[in-house]
Amino acid sequence: MTSPLVSIRGLEKRFDLSGSFLEQLRFEGGRLRRKQEAVHAINGVNLEVQKGEALCVVGESGCGKSTVARTVMGLLSPSAGEIHYGGQRIDNLEGKAALPYRRKMQMIFQNPYASLNPRMTIQQTLEEPIRFHHPDWSPVQVRDKIHEVMHSVGIDPDWGSRFGHEFSGGQRQRIAIARALAVDPEFIVADEPISALDVSIQAQVLNLLMDAQESRGLTYLFITHDLAVVEHFGTRVAVMYLGRVCELADTKTLFAMPRHPYTQALLSAIPKLEDDRPNHIRLQGEVPTPVNLPSGCVFHGRCPYANERCRQEVPQLIATDGGAQVACHAVEEGRL
Amino acid sequence: MALLEVKNLDVRFAVRGGDLTALRRISFSLDKGERLGLVGESGAGKSVAAFSILNLIAKPGYIAGGQILFEGKDLAAMSERELRKIRGNRIAMIFQDPMMTLNPVLTIGTQMVEAILAHRKISKKEARAIALDRLQKVQIPSPEKRLDQYPHELSGGMRQRVIIAIALLLDPEIIIADEPTTALDVTIQAEIMDLLLNLCEQENVALMLITHDLGVVSQVTQRMLVMYSGRIIEQGPTREIINDAQHPYTQGLINALPQMGEPGARLFQIPGSMPSLKNVPSGCPFHPRCNFATDQCKRAMPEYVRSGNVDVACYEVANLIEQEKRMQEAES
Amino acid sequence: MTTATVSRWDRFRESFFWYSFKRDKVAIASFLVLLAMVLAAVFAPWLAPADPYDLAQINIMNSELPPVGLDGADPAFPLGTDAQGRDLLSTILYGTRVSLMIGFGAVVLQAALGILFGLLAGYLGGKVDAILMRIADVQLSFSTLMVAIIVGAVFKASFGNLMFGEIAIYMLIFIIGVAEWPQIARTVRASVLAEKKKEYVDAAKVMGFGTPRIMFRHILPNTLSPIFVIATVQIANAIISEAALSFLGLGMPETQPSLGSLIKSGFDYIQSGSWWITLIPGLVLVVLVLVINLLGDWLRDVMNPRLYKG
């Protein structure tokens, strides 16, 4: 078993909502109390990304998938747990020590309209990272690299002197991909890279990402809410709900045989072209907020199979006979 | 007579350097209780079409020609005063982002009662009772509580239910829904579309659903029309178009969906992108991206031809139909 | 899309900025008047018929001559003379020069301070933000005029009028500049807070860029649009503040007068009938402030909905 490229261990992330000291004081039950609230975005996630694979993390809003992406990239620091890259712990690195990893790990963002600096030309946007990570390169080398990477994403290098707002959403996303590829990374985190694009453009950009993976031997951590994309693009899938992974499996296995009740509901909710009417598993109740997490299994409030144990005990990811890992008492007990 | 009939609707935007045409001679109809889908990508003009029915297009947009016949009367020619009697009352609209549609400083109840009292001369108590009834129809838990809550106290899915309830307050004939679930999670989207479908069936309300999601269109609508660069290029029963799309653009759109692709293989992609309003190509606007384009396509916009129950605007399709007819004639 | 590279000049000519300017007659007129005044002020030494501060050139016999068109006027002094016999046209030219210098100087200083502190407060947040904003709040509760009066009076008392006269212009620029930085800082801070959330900042962090580079190279250019509008209005405010101070005797000295001190020195002579000594510099001041404000108004309208377009 080869060691994974990226390893996420026991990751937890809380965002403090308490406010300043004065805001925390509340008058409750006749006494002055100090109230502290937090958004529990990630509550114990363990994931490994193998070299060369495309691990997709799916879930709906509030599940913490974007927070995982940002923590892996170092934009946020974990409240607990560790991030490892190539066997080396990286979440506690800063400044110069972190620099080599900044080059090897790159990120593509969701909003193509905000991910390019409106005051910089494309040329400047692409040039800066190259110059920063290769200070010894000559201007000719830099220029050649820019041209090469613009070609590979399908943008004419002659348009380098234009600004971001002169391009369409799909083109901007290509430029953002070019920026990520310009420093020759090994690992790319893509946070919903095609959600903001039109359907026909989504196909173009997805193809581009797949081509890049093949020609450059990239490893992807792909965050998305679109299961159809996952089925097409991913090697393995992790389904997240309220900060925990409920199911982790090969793409084929997950779509053929989803085990976790949430995964089943999620898959049934995708509107399919063959359907004549909406045809999905109906979940009861509302999505709880990540501020007041339910006890036990975070899904128990909406799950048709919840029992007492589900209300008390947090299920762990356990391997099942199909090859998937599922965090569900009902599956473990053989009830499902 | 159809409930709503749009004939040769032309909508333009007056900007410096001349007028840009957003909709070019759009024609379609909607029957009572029918569910129609308007499909297209951004820039195709589907939102413009929806907004122009109630003449809600903001300046510099304006209706340049055509008719919008609602129960026989032309909405495009009506005064603001007359239109106000119809908006919210006979034709209701649902927008994409519930947080933008609901006033954050007023309670749900206040907003609903206000909407009712704008069109009916009844007491506040009666209006509140109607509001409560509609909230129950959209299956919101504890509806009495909701009336006194503010929009930010509700989740996204619940807010969209409230919006649907508001749309139903005055028993409209038509609900125009502009991308009602695009901003919602997929499980909530499924719930909302299910609700909308059931309500429209129960109350016999016509639905005009604007969306880019072909899956949703297939689940909810009976007829659909596909828009590209301000024109309707294909129109007909939803099932027929989804199963056997005729126009190359519609085919491309369906084939580009990840659910249609082989896992791991490249997806089918339509080269290029939809032209902006400033650079609309001559003739058929799709010809620069079309595999079947000929000189004819560059010269003039194709007329509609009928294939089965579907109207298609494409020379290639027209030619294929001609060939088939000739072959059938030759056989007989 | 054409493949020709687009020059800055082409881009400007095609921009909404230029298009809107061409259509707004008030903006064009204001700009031309301002341009004329600025050029006149810059070239004052060459344009002025006489050097009003060269004591050798002044003849007390020429005092209180009215402007051309009234009885007793001398064509050599088209706008009349003041109580000492100085040519009013020349004093106004030099006075406008001083006023503009103080106006621009003060605004450059307050913009520099405001942008720096606003950037630091907005981007670094936490304690830095809290401290800087509290200082700003305290400073905003002091009126600029009050501070200037106190500082000016103390300085004059300690160092005497002559010393005060020499450094007056720098002191005024300093006081007005330092007093007004909070407004710009707050605006920049608000912009920075909004820009901080955008993905291009994340992309820069992910690339490994350090904090100074991100603050100055990436975020700063995106916060400048509202500053241009504020700066134009602040130039007008600075000129008026200085005029008020000079009127109170705490501004520019007699030997190096600004429009404000010209108004002051002529004030006493209204009673004796020589209204032009006060009124004409007064009119010039009003026109100057008016065109700057009009241009600021137009600038705000132009930049408002189009903050990030070309």
Q: Using an 8 Å Cβ cutoff, are B284 and B302 in contact?
A: yes
Query: Best interface-test mutation with C: which of A119, A130, A158 has the largest number of C CBs within 10 A?
Result: A119
Between the ranges A70-79, C47-56, C221-230, where is the mean pLDDT highest? A70-79
Q: Which amino acid is at C231?
A: A
Q: What are phi and psi of B306, to 5 degrees?
A: -100, 130
Total length of chain C: 310
Q: Is A140 left (phi over 0), alpha (psi -120 to 50) or beta?
A: alpha
The total of other beta-carbon atoms located within 10 Å of residue A221's CB is 27
Q: How far apart are CA C300 and CA C229, in angstroms?
A: 6
Q: What is the pLDDT of residue C7?
A: 65
Strand B61-70 relative to strand B231-237: parallel, antiparallel, unpaired?
unpaired
Which residues of chain A have a CB within 8 Å of the CB of C310? Answer: 163, 165
Between chain A and chain C, the number of residue pairs with CB atoms below 8 A apart is 70
- Nearest chain C alpha carbon to A159: C3
In chain B, whose CA is at the least distance from the CA of A280?
B190
Taking CA atoms, B288 is separated from A87, B225, B279, in Å, by 51, 22, 12
pLDDT tens for each residue of A281-297? 877 777 777 888 888 88
Phi, psi of A269 (to 5 degrees): -80, -15
Instruction: Identify which of A98, A99, A179 has the shortest CB distance to residue C203.
Output: A179
Say yes or no to pLDDT of C14 above 70: no
A16 falls within a domain:
no
One-letter amino acid at B141 equals P
Rg (CA), chain A: 22
Query: Is A245 a member of any domain?
Result: yes
Q: Which of A117, A132, A176 sits opposite C218 (nearest CB)?
A: A117
Put simply, the answer to whether B186 touches A266 (Cβ < 8 Å) is: yes
pLDDT score recorded for residue C5:
53
Closest among C115, C192, C101, C102 to C144, alpha carbons compared: C102
Residues of B in contact with A291 (CB under 8 A): none
Residue-level pLDDT at B270: 84
Query: A66 lies in a domain?
Result: no
The residue to which tokens 């695009």 are assigned: B182
Question: Pairing state of beta strands B223-228 and B231-237?
Answer: antiparallel
Do residue A200 and residue B193 have CB atoms under 8 angstroms apart? no
Among the residue ranges A72-81, A115-124, B175-184, B260-269, the one predicted with the least confidence is: B260-269
Per the domain annotation, does A295 fall within a domain?
yes
Specify whether the CB–CB gap between B157 and B180 falls below 8 A.
Answer: no
Which range among A129-138, B81-90, C12-21, C75-84 has the greatest average pLDDT? A129-138
Portion of chain C with pLDDT greater than 90, in percent: 30
The partner residue sitting opposite B253, judged by closest CB among A199, A265, A282, is A199
Q: Give the gap in angstroms from C-alpha B38 to the nearest C-alpha of chain A.
A: 15
Query: Which residues is A28 bridged to in the sheet?
Result: A31
| Chain A nearest C-alpha distance from B262 (Å) | 7
Q: How confident is the model at residue A1 (pLDDT cuts 50, 70, 90)?
A: low
Looking at the complex, report in whole angstroms how far the Cα of residue B167 sits from the nearest Cα belonging to chain A.
Answer: 21
Return the closest-CA partner of residue B78 out of B95, B60, B91. Answer: B91
Q: Give the three-class secondary structure for B11.
A: strand
* Euclidean distance between the first and the last CA atom of chain A, given in angstroms as a whole number: 30
Q: Which residue of A has its CA nearest to C126?
A: A20
Nearest to A129 among C207, C210, C310 (CB): C207
Q: Closest Cα partner for C309 from A286, A165, B124?
A: A165
Question: CB within 8 A of A285, min separation 6: which ones?
Answer: A301, A302
E strands present in A155-204: 187-191
Q: Is the pLDDT of residue C71 over 60?
A: yes
Task: Characterize B63-88 residue by residue with b for buried, 16 or more Cβ atoms within 10 angstroms of its Cβ, and e for exposed.
Answer: bbebbbbbeeeebbebeeeeeeebbb
Of C6, C200, C202, the CB nearest to A75: C202
Half-sphere exposure of B233 (CA within 13 A, CB side): 28
- B157:A286 CB<8 A: yes
Q: Which residue of B has its CA nearest to A276?
A: B219
Least confident of B24-28, C40-44, C59-63: C59-63
Closest to B216 in 3D by CA, of A276, A290, C164, A201:
A276
Using beta carbons and an 8 Å cutoff, which residues of A are at the interface with B? 60-61, 168, 170, 198-204, 206-207, 210-211, 225-229, 231-233, 251-252, 265-266, 268-280, 282-283, 286-287
Average of per-residue pLDDT across C80-100: 84
Higher-pLDDT residue of B193 and A1 is B193
For residue C310, the model assigns a pLDDT of 32
Task: Look at strands B206-211 and B174-178 and give their pairing.
Answer: parallel
DSSP state of C214: I
Between A115, A159, A165, which is nearest C309 by CB? A165
Residue B220, min C-alpha distance to chain A (Å): 6
Which subunits have 3 or more CB–CB pairs within 8 Å of chain C?
A
Name the phi and psi angles at C301, rounded to 5: -65, -40
The nearest alpha carbon in chain A to B195 belongs to A278
Q: Among B141, B253, B257, whose Cβ lies nearest the Cβ of A228?
A: B257
**Contact residues, chain C, for A105 at CB < 8 Å:** 206
Is residue A249 in a domain?
A: yes
Question: Residue C198: its chain A contacts at CB < 8 A?
Answer: 114-115
Q: Is residue A80, in this structure, part of any structural domain at all? A: no
Those residues with Cβ within 8 angstroms of residue B6's Cβ, 6 or more apart along the chain or in another chain = B26, B27, B28, B29, B49, B53, B66, B67, B68, B69
In a domain, A105, yes or no: no
The C-alpha atoms of residue A23 and residue A34 are separated, in whole angstroms, by 9
A203 vs B220: CB contact, 8 Å cut-off?
no
Minimum distance, in Å, between the CA of residue A273 and any CA atom of chain B: 5
Q: How many CA atoms lie within 13 A of C40 on its CB side?
A: 19
B→A interface, C-beta within 8 Å = 41-42, 141, 155-158, 185-191, 193-194, 197, 212-216, 218-220, 239, 242, 252-254, 256-261, 263-264, 266-270, 273-274
User: Which residues does chain A have within 8 Å of residue B269's beta carbon, measured at their own beta carbons?
Assistant: 200, 203-204, 207
For the sheet with B310-312, list strands across it: B91-94, B174-178, B206-211, B35-39, B223-228, B231-237, B310-312, B305-307
Whole-number pLDDT of residue C307: 46
pTM: 0.84
What 3-state DSSP class applies to A248? strand
Q: Which residues pair with A319 in a beta bridge?
A: A325
User: What's the start-to-end Cα distance of chain C, in Å?
Assistant: 16
Query: Is residue C3 helix, strand or coil?
Result: coil
Cβ-defined contact of B258 to A203 (cutoff 8 Å)? yes
Question: Among the listed ranges A107-116, A172-181, C25-34, C164-173, which one has the minimum average pLDDT value?
Answer: C164-173
Q: Which of A93, A99, A117, A133 to mutate to test the interface with C (most CBs of C within 10 A)?
A: A117
The sign of the CA dihedral B166, B172, B176, B182 is: positive
Chain B CB contacts of A210 under 8 Å are 266
Looking at beta carbons, which residues of chain A come within 8 Å of C205?
74-75
The rounded mean pLDDT for chain C is: 83
Band of pLDDT at residue C4, cut at 50, 70 and 90: very low
Who wins on pLDDT, C226 or C307?
Answer: C226
Distance CA B211, CA B181 (A): 9
DSSP state for residue A64 in the 8-state scheme: S
Rounded Cα distance between B69 and C135, Å, is 64
C102: left (phi over 0), alpha (psi -120 to 50) or beta: alpha
Query: What's the domain range around A274?
Result: 235-336
- pLDDT score of A49: 94
Low-confidence ranges of chain B (pLDDT < 50): none
What pLDDT shows up at residue B308?
Answer: 86
pLDDT score for C6: 60
C310/A163 CB distance under 8 A: yes
- Higher model confidence: residue C45 or residue B219? B219
List, in order of start, the domains of chain C with CATH numbers: 105-304 (1.10.3720.10)
| Residue found by looking up tokens 């410096």 in the block | B16
- Chains touching A, CB cut-off 8 Å, 3+ pairs: B, C
Contact A271 B213 (CB under 8 A): yes
Query: What is the distance between the alpha carbons of residues C25 and A199, in angstroms, rounded to a whole number?
Result: 46
What average pLDDT does this structure show over A152-173? Answer: 90
d(CA C253, CA A300): 81
Q: What is the pLDDT of residues C98-128, one digit of tens each?
A: 889 999 999 999 999 999 999 999 999 889 9
Helix segments in chain B, DSSP class H: 46-53, 80-86, 98-101, 108-117, 124-137, 143-147, 156-168, 186-203, 214-220, 238-243, 248-255, 295-299, 315-331
A232 vs B contacts (CB less than 8 Å) = 258-259, 261, 263-264, 267
Residues C206, A114: C-beta atoms closer than 8 Å: no
The set of long-range contacts for C132-135, using a CB threshold of 8 Å and a minimum separation of 24, is C132/C185, C133/C186, C133/C189
Express each pLDDT in C240-276 by its tens digit.
Answer: 888 888 888 777 877 778 888 888 888 878 777 778 8
Write a three-state SS string for C144-176. HHHHHHHHHHHHHHHHHHHHHHHHHHHHHHHHH
Q: Helix (H) and strand (E) counts for chain A?
A: 12, 14
Establish whether the linkage from the previous residue to B60 is cis, with ω within 30° of 0: yes
**Run of H or E residues at C247:** helix C225-247
What is the reported pLDDT for B59? 79
Q: Does an H or E element contain B70, and which?
A: strand B61-70
Top mean-pLDDT range of A139-143, A266-270, C156-160: A139-143
Q: How far apart are CA A305 and CA A316, in angstroms?
A: 17
Nearest one of A265, A266, A259, A262 to A325, comparing CA atoms = A259
Contact A232 B186 (CB under 8 A): no
A110 close contact with C: CB closer than 8 A: yes
Q: Which chains touch B (3 or more CB pairs under 8 A)?
A: A
Q: Do C208 and A110 touch (CB under 8 A)?
A: no
Give domain status of residue A332, yes or no. yes
Given this model, what pLDDT does residue A31 score?
74
Q: pLDDT: is C160 or A66 the higher one?
A: A66
**DSSP state, residue C81:** B
Each residue's pLDDT tens digit, C298-309: 888 877 655 444
User: How many domains, in total, are found in chain A?
Assistant: 1
Cβ separation of A206 and B267 shorter than 8 Å?
A: yes
* Closest to B21 in 3D by CA, of B42, B49, B41, B54: B49
